[in-house]
Amino acid sequence: MLKYILKRLGMMALTLFAIVTLAFFVIRWMPGSPFDDPEYSPELVRMLEEKYRLHEPIPVQYFAFLKNIVTEGFWGVSFRIEPTVPVWKVIGERIPVTLGLNFISLLLSLPLGLLAGCCAALYKSKLPDVLISALVILFVSVPSFVAASALQYFLGYRTHLFPIIYRSLGSFPERLHSLLLPVFALSFYPVATLCRYLRGELLENFSEDYLLLARSKGLTRKQVLLRHAFPNALVPLMPVIVPMFTGILSGSLVVERIFGIPGVGGLVTQSIQAQDHFLTISVLFFYALIHLLTVLITDLSYGFIDPRIRLGGGRHA
């Protein structure tokens, strides 16, 4: 098992290295300079470029960049967004907001999705099931940014129930209140996916012998479903739940923009448009890292959940 994890971590490091390298060359080969500003004199631009060593050949820059990361853990400074601030500090300030938003959405989605899934399975083909299934299709299909705009318009502009944009300077309850709409917008898809999977899983379990036995002993459909089938159905859900986090994270790229939340999402386009090279690389690295971590956790969870699945193909895992 340990060997497998180490091997996976090694692969992950390689992939991350490839992404950083690719990003570096793509970004440096782009025409233009971060200091293309009509207000800057050519003299100033030259000095700035020399200061950040942007005038050197690209491979030289690349190795200097790598050397800084390996020896000092230094990823460079931001040029335009927050000049001269180290990039990870810029990103670090925004990570809590983004991760907070994502975790709240996930925490809200889990109970709701499970509840809806149970409800749909319990009343299969009856009114609640039909209703929930229709909502599931709606929530799965409608993109998060459309949902976000709709929420913003109807609950924000029209009824003034919620603030239209995130109040980053407000008190804690105020901030939480203004975070609710984005959380809702991000939760639709995960709730629907969870509900769909759980319903399918429960109904599949329902034809198994052990449930038939439980039924024949006189338990009601509801008891059987909740006490026997539900815990079993949770097992294969784990690999569905973990990747949902990546989904929410990329969804929050747009939702953050719509609600003006100062999270990591905005940095992607801002840094690309401002040609803030090192910031772009680091933000892309951040997204890749989270994505790879969730994939790894998902794969590992297969082994924990069902010991029959052997990881890595070793003789004994």
Partner 1 sequence: MRKKLKKNKAARAALGILLFLILIALFGPMMTPYSYREQLTNEAGEYLSDMPPRIPFLKKLGIASGRATLKDRRVDGLSDTEKYPEGSVIRIKNRYTAPSGTEYCDVVVDYYVYKGVGEDVNFWFGTDQMGRDLWTRLWRGTRVSLLIALIAVTADLLIGTLYGAVCGYFGGKTDLILMRFAEIIRSIPNVVICSLFIMLFGTGIKTMILALAVRGWTQTAQLVRAQFLRNKTREYVLASRMMGASDGWLIFRHILPNSLSPLLTGAMMAVPSAIFTESFLAYIGLGIPAPEPSLGTLLSGAWPVLELYPLQTLLPALVISVLLIAFTLFTGGLRDVLDPSEI
Q: For the window 240-259, what string marks contact with partner 1 as x by the rule CB under 8 A?
A: ------x---x--xx--xx-
Contact between 149 and partner 1 (CB under 8 A)? yes
Contact between 302 and partner 1 (CB under 8 A)? no
d(Cα 265, Cα 279) in Å, to the nearest integer? 12
Compare residues 100 and 260 and give the one whose CB is closer to partner 1: 260
Give φ, ψ of 204 to 5 degrees.
-70, -45
- Find the binding residues for partner 1 in span 164-203 (CB under 8 A): 200, 203
Q: Any idea which residue has 């005038």 for tokens?
A: 55
Amino acid identity for residue 1 in this structure: M
Compare residues 219 and 274 and give the one whose CB is closer to partner 1: 274
Compare residues 23 and 87 and give the one whose CB is closer to partner 1: 23
Instruction: Say how many C-beta atoms besides its own lie within 10 A of residue 194's C-beta.
Output: 24
- Find the binding residues for partner 1 in span 80-109 (CB under 8 A): none
* Segment lying near partner 1 (by CB under 8 A), choices 7-15, 90-98, 170-178, 229-237: 7-15
| 82 CA to centre of own chain | 25
Contact between 293 and partner 1 (CB under 8 A)? no
Q: Is 187 exposed, middle or buried (0-12, 13-18, 19+ CB in 10 A)?
A: buried
Smallest gap, in angstroms, from Cβ of residue 133 to partner 1? Answer: 10
Among 13, 58, 60, 153, binds partner 1 (CB under 8 A): 153
Compare residues 176 and 289 and give the one whose CB is closer to partner 1: 289
Compare residues 119 and 219 and give the one whose CB is closer to partner 1: 119
Smallest gap, in angstroms, from Cβ of residue 288 to partner 1? Answer: 5
d(Cα 250, Cα 46) in Å, to the nearest integer? 37
Rg of the chain in Å (alpha carbons)? 25
- Find the binding residues for partner 1 in span 255-284 (CB under 8 A): 257-258, 265, 268-269, 272-273, 280, 284
d(Cα 188, Cα 196) in Å, to the nearest integer? 12
Smallest gap, in angstroms, from Cβ of residue 27 to partner 1? Answer: 7
d(Cα 182, Cα 266) in Å, to the nearest integer? 15
Residue 152: both structure tokens together: 């913003």
Smallest gap, in angstroms, from Cβ of residue 34 to partner 1? Answer: 13
Please name which of 149, 115, 108, 111 lies closest in space to residue 132, comparing C-alpha atoms. 115
Residues 6+ apart with CB under 8 A from 48: 35, 40, 54
- Find the binding residues for partner 1 in span 108-137 (CB under 8 A): 137
d(Cα 143, Cα 34) in Å, to the nearest integer? 34
Please name which of 184, 144, 180 lies closest in space to residue 165, comparing C-alpha atoms. 180
Smallest gap, in angstroms, from Cβ of residue 290 to partner 1? Answer: 8
Residue 102: both structure tokens together: 């994502």
Binding stretches for partner 1 (CB under 8 A): 12, 14-15, 18-19, 22-23, 26-27, 29-30, 137-138, 140-143, 145-146, 149-150, 152-153, 157, 200, 203-204, 246, 250, 253-254, 257-258, 265, 268-269, 272-273, 280, 284, 287-288, 291-292, 295
